Structures are given as structure tokens and as C-alpha cells.
Amino acid sequence: MPPPIDHACLHLHVLPDTFFVSKFQPNETVPRSIFNLLVKDSRFLSLTRTPEETSIVGQWHDEIPSGFQGDAVWRCIKLQGPMEFSLVGVLAQLATPLKEAKIGIFVVSTWNTDYLLVNEGDLELAVKTLKADRWTFASTVM
């Protein structure tokens, strides 16, 4: 059974800022300035390290090192959250219409919710596609 997409925790928000997605090799040093942002800034920043890579996803702003600016071509659609772990299939149901519209996605999940990033040029089509699939947008900043 698909998740109840009309539930308030599953309402969508288009966040107003541009986001960056960067990849480092597993042995490559992540810039100290990125770590500094973790302690002094409350904007979105996600750092994931695996044996194969280090991925950094963040909300673009002036204190991000300029080397990341070329990767700042993403926009973010956030699920309202918080979601209970008993809700299954949410991401699959959200991704399916975007797949059919040939819109690539990059997803970051947290304890409370999911953040779905699309290329800036695909944002308008992504919102239109999800609305046609009966998803509710609580806020849309294009």
C-alpha cells in the first residue's frame, strides 16, 4: 500500500536557495572551512564518507569555499516531516513520477525526513510533475 501522500508530514516544500553537490575521493582532505560551517552555521550541510567516496551536499551561501560554486546547480524539495519509520515506500513513490519525466535526482535522508535535489533547470518540471501526481506543495519558491 502506498504512503498517504495527503498526510501533512508528506507535504513538499521547495527551498529557496541553490544547493551544491560535491564529490571527493575517499583519501582526499575535505576543506577545513566546510567543517567550520558545521559548528557556526545552521544552514543545510550533509557530509557522507564511505570507503569509495566523500559526498558533500549543502545550501550555497557566501561562506562556502568558492571551489564549490560550480557544483551549486541544484534545487531542493523537502518533505515536511518528521516521518515515522513505519511509513514505507515514500521515496519510491516520490521518485517514480520524476523518473518517468526523465528528471534525475540526488537524495539526502535524515532521521526526520528526506531532501530531494533536482538540477535547477528541472525544478519547474519536477514541481509540475509531482503536482500532477497529487503531491501537495506547502510552499514553492521558484
Tell me, yes or no, whether 129 lies in a domain: yes
Q: Would you say 137 and 11 are in contact if contact means Cβ atoms under 8 Å apart?
A: yes
Contact partners, residue 62, CB within 8 Å, separation at least 6:
none
Total domains in the fold of the chain: 1
pLDDT for residue 38 is more than 80: no
Q: Assess if residue 1 is contained within a domain.
A: no
In the predicted structure, residue 127 carries a pLDDT above the cut 50: yes
| 70, 107, 112, 137 from 80: Cα distances, Å | 28, 15, 9, 9
Average pLDDT of every residue of the chain: 89
Task: Report the CATH number that the domain containing residue 95 is assigned in CATH.
Answer: 3.30.2130.10
Mean pLDDT of 79-108: 93
Cβ atoms of residues 92 and 61 within 8 Å: no
Say what the pLDDT of residue 142 is: 63
Binned at pLDDT 50, 70 and 90, residue 52 comes out as: very high
Instruction: Give the range of the structural domain holding residue 52, as residue numbers without chain letter.
Output: 8-139
**Segment among 86-95, 100-109, 112-121 with least mean pLDDT:** 86-95
The pTM (predicted TM-score) of the whole model is 0.89
**106: CB partners within 8 A, 6+ apart:** 21, 57, 74, 116, 117, 118
Spatial CB neighbours of 49, under 8 Å, sequence gap ≥ 6: 26
Question: What per-residue confidence (pLDDT) applies to 1?
Answer: 43
pLDDT at res. 22? 92
Q: For position 69, what pLDDT does the model report?
A: 85
Tell whether 72 is covered by a domain.
Answer: yes
